[in-house]
Amino acid sequence: MSDAAQVGGMDAFAALGESVRAALSERGFSTPTEPQRRAIPPIAAGENALVIAPTGTGKTETAMLPVFDALVTGRSPRGDPADADAGPPEGIGALYVTPLRALNRDMRGRLEWWGEYLDLDVQVRHGDTTDYQRTKQANDPPDVLVTTPETVQAMLTGEKLREGLSDLRHVVVDEVHELAASKRGAQFTVAMERLRALAGDFQRIGLSATVGDPDEVGRFLTGHRGDVEGSPQASDRGCEILEIDAGADVEFDVVSPEVTDEDERLAGELATSADVASHVRFIRDQVADHESTLVFVNTRQTAEALGARFTALDAPIGVHHGSLSKDARIEVEDAFKSGELDGLVCTSSMELGIDVGRVDHVVQYNSPREVARLLQRVGRAGHRRGETSHGTIVTDNPDDTLEALAIARRAAAGEVEDAGIHHGSLDVVANQIVGLLMDVGEIDAREAYELVTGAYPFRDLAEGTFRDVVRQLSNNRLVWVDEERDVLEKSGGTWQYFYRNLSMIPDEETYDVTDISSRHQIGTLDERFVVNFAAPGETFIQRGEMWRINDIDDEEGTVNVSPIEDPAGEVPSWTGQEIPVPSAVAAEVGEMRGVAEPQFAGGADVESVAREFAARYPAEPRTLEVGLSQVERQVEADAPMPTDDRVVLEGQGRSITLNVARGHEVNRTLGRLLSALVGQRTGSSVGMDADPYRVELEVPTSVDPGTVIEVLEETDPEHVEALLELALKRSDTLKFTLTHVAAKFGALKPYQADKRFGADRLMAALEDTPVFDEAVREVFHTELAVEETADLLQSIQSGDLEVVTAREPTPVGTGGRSSGREFLVPENADASVIQTIKERIMDDRVILLCLHCHEWNHTTKVRRVRETPRCPNCESTRVAALNPWAEETVAAVRADEKDEEQERLTKRAFRAGSLVQAHGKQAVIALAARGVGPHNAARIIAKLREDEDDFYRDILAQERQYARTQSFWD
């Protein structure tokens, strides 16, 4: 730690000049916050710095007060005596870079206030900035420009803006942890080297949430420099790490709500199970008990489903996530900030510093999966001086509960995951080579290589690999290579490629969702959801409200909807992967099982074991009992216990489960490896699924757990990477990634035909190129854990990790995370839920169409349909029951000359008519259910259920299956 970093108390503000201290007094700042106390002195002294502290602790002012002071006084940012009289910069003196799509309105207002008081011009520039304002900024650069990483890319290519940036002295990067874990961030590190080539050394200040590897993130921020003598050895540029312990002022409670009588009643009202109703009720009560509560969930689908339940209960709780329109997000942000809403159900979109006013409590629904995520989310609550942030984690099954307990303990202890920097992303290298040529027109290849490798994520990039990327770009006509001079030049495709690829965020098509009654956009839907699910008449939830699709305009990219009140709509299935549980967290869950096992085996009951665990984990005994119940059942079944140092295999029929507590990425990697190798031995395909605690294999009947053990014991750990790369060549994951990487290399277009291409053809064309290499690297980085999996095999083969088999399926093996649980349809419907579903169907409307005379069609509620429907015109009983929006089917049946689609609709109508003719109103009821066409209705009726409740349970099962098909499309 530098001498400056040791200055404390009021001395922090004393490091600032007179003008800034006067502004502090005017603003009412009398005492610095802890981050300000620690960080202002070294930043004022010109040090590069990484400030790590929770959201809402004054990080923005921590960075910007000394920057404002340096701009006002003209002090050199790096404290170089030779530059002491440099004077105020003529161009842009400081960049404040934020990864947020829309700058926090509160932060913008604060920065502009400081600028006005200090007579500094503070402006904002991003994708929505008007052309007039852009021109004005280029002609008369502001002192401070607040912008995004992508806008910096564009600014570097403008002649006047480059002139304005040539006097740059400070770059402040907000939410560094967010950028460090993405290709977007890797791209920005090279942009900072391009800025350095233009402006010389400048001070770099990063603001970050808690990370497990602060030194690594500091190097990510500051980059490397070559040795003075020209040695290829690189060294750090230096970065002061100023970390405020996030776990010191944070408290957690893990709660698994107990089902009450009220929950049994709510289950019927909400058309869900009593367990899920207890979660909704508990969260509703938590919100009611506090002034302002953020309810974090892990997926947008859960946000919408939970929001719909609160809407049904008239609870003052809104929904906020990234697929809502900007207007809808601002509306709920303002409603929450003003107190109109007491709670906000939100996803990771709210982790970053969006201004929603003061938050006094955070609820995390289900395990947050990662320590860093929990700290970031709970850190949103209670930031007044001396206050502790409070968070409640609501869990719903043993895996979820033990995992949340492990994460809460690790968070309090400061055991945070590493950031996960993308090292050596070749599509970023390609993108930035083109960016460099946009900057300067032509550049020496060696000079370009040295500039790129000055960025920390590319410090180990081999020159040969760099030249392979250049050749690929040349082949794609994005750059021109003068071989004789070893110089790179712009080509005809450079300009168009660059402006299409300012961002490293993959391009994904979305449809705007528009309310036809108000003509307001309410959100967006992913293209795959629209293609696979959306059709006129279908229902779904967005913004916690129910909508029915009116029509879809593919040319405009819009889905027009109207609001409805219907408790059984489908929840949109959003793109985006499940948050992976880290290996260390899963291993602690295994350790917890290992600690509890001998106690249960010794005769202890779950209450006494739970009391012991309460000394280490933040939960009441009852919640601990829920988490430990699975362990207790495992011991009672006399089955071996999977722990952090024991793997248990169990098989039943064609399914083999490996109970291995190593987290998502290791288990996915192990599963892919076993799937490939067992499949190779048998000549058959082997299905695979994985969660943090299990790998499930679907195998031929000739394979038993012994075969899997042989593969585990015989596979050379050193060959894991090569074996996985071979296995990946057949995977959809690699093909999907390859399309995005190819686009960033400008390599996709030659292989397209009428905007469609074959992924296999693309893979064959790009194999043995940097494009393919990068796609493999990205899958390995984001999906798999090759090194850790190789270590796991080594531990098995050395005997450090025990492998045993269970005689039959065990409670732990069969009790995995219930990822398919529906909010809207319960797994086992009780009487109240059956009654709710029955009433819903009876109130649904159907079209009755006579298939004999074709003349009569009548729309009515299901409850008004006769036991034997009959045409009043011709007395025929061959009457089709159709959905109320099926006018196209009516027209198709009546058409004399039918096209192919009308033939299909007519056949479907006649199948429905045959069912109604044979089974009367029972068929009408089945056909009125969600996603139950004539084929499935016939299957339900064929079961000949004597009990009416069982008949409705069969309908529920089919509706649930219909809802879940969305996960297969994704």
Higher pLDDT, 717 or 249: 717
CA-wise closest residue to 95 among 140, 134, 142: 142
Intervals of CATH 3.40.50.300 along the chain: 4-243, 250-412
In whole angstroms, give the CA distance from residue 636 to residue 631. Answer: 9
What is the CB-side half-sphere exposure of residue 653 using CA atoms within 13 A? 3
User: Can you tell me the mean pLDDT for 601-615?
Assistant: 93
Pairing of strands 442-444, 520-526: unpaired
Name the band, by pLDDT with cuts 50, 70 and 90, for residue 839.
confident
The confidence score (pLDDT) of residue 797 equals: 96
Residue 2 has pLDDT above 80, yes or no: no
Residue 597 has pLDDT above 70, yes or no: yes
Residues 42/248, Cβ–Cβ less than 8 Å: no
643 φ, ψ (degrees, to nearest 5):
-135, -170
Residues 48/20, Cβ–Cβ less than 8 Å: no
Higher pLDDT, 826 or 138: 138
Looking at beta carbons, which pairs linking 474-480 to residues 24 or more positions away fall under 8 Å? 476/745, 476/746, 476/747, 476/750, 477/746, 478/430, 478/434, 478/746, 479/433, 479/434, 479/437
The confidence score (pLDDT) of residue 932 equals: 80
Higher pLDDT, 186 or 533: 186
Intervals of CATH 1.10.10.10 along the chain: 426-500
Of the candidate CATH numbers 1.10.10.10, 2.40.50.700, 3.10.50.40, 2.60.40.420, the domain formed by 426-500 belongs to 1.10.10.10
The confidence score (pLDDT) of residue 560 equals: 85
Higher pLDDT, 882 or 330: 882
The confidence score (pLDDT) of residue 519 equals: 67
The confidence score (pLDDT) of residue 65 equals: 95
Pairing of strands 317-320, 343-346: parallel
- When computed from its CA atoms, the radius of gyration of the chain, rounded to whole angstroms, is 31
The confidence score (pLDDT) of residue 529 equals: 61
Of the candidate CATH numbers 3.30.390.30, 3.20.20.70, 3.40.50.300, 3.40.50.2300, the domain formed by 250-412 belongs to 3.40.50.300
In whole angstroms, give the CA distance from residue 964 to residue 685. Answer: 24
| pLDDT tens profile 17-42 | 999 999 999 988 888 888 899 999 99
| pLDDT tens profile 950-962 | 888 788 777 666 6
Name the band, by pLDDT with cuts 50, 70 and 90, for residue 947.
confident
What is the CB-side half-sphere exposure of residue 628 using CA atoms within 13 A? 29
The confidence score (pLDDT) of residue 322 equals: 74
Q: Taking the CB of residue 834, how many other CB atoms lie within 10 A of it?
A: 20
User: Can you tell me the mean pLDDT for 864-891?
Assistant: 90
Residues 682/652, Cβ–Cβ less than 8 Å: no
Of the candidate CATH numbers 3.30.420.40, 3.40.50.300, 1.10.3720.10, 3.40.50.1370, the domain formed by 4-243 belongs to 3.40.50.300
Residues 711/681, Cβ–Cβ less than 8 Å: yes
How many angstroms separate the Cα of 376 from the Cα of each of 250, 359, 750? Answer: 11, 13, 43
| pLDDT tens profile 461-492 | 999 999 999 999 999 999 999 989 999 999 98
Give the range with max mean pLDDT: 35-44, 269-278, 350-359: 35-44
| pLDDT tens profile 397-449 | 899 999 999 999 999 888 999 989 999 999 999 999 999 999 999 999 999 99
Higher pLDDT, 14 or 574: 14
Enumerate residues 6+ apart whose C-beta is below 8 A from 749: none
User: Can you tell me the mean pLDDT for 597-618?
Assistant: 94
Task: Say what percent of the chain tops pLDDT 90.
Answer: 53
| pLDDT tens profile 126-147 | 877 788 888 999 999 999 999 9
- What is this structure's pTM? 0.77
| pLDDT tens profile 484-521 | 999 999 998 899 898 888 888 766 567 788 887 666 77
Positions of E strands within 310-413: 317-320, 343-346, 361-365, 389-394
CA-wise closest residue to 3 among 46, 32, 65, 35: 46
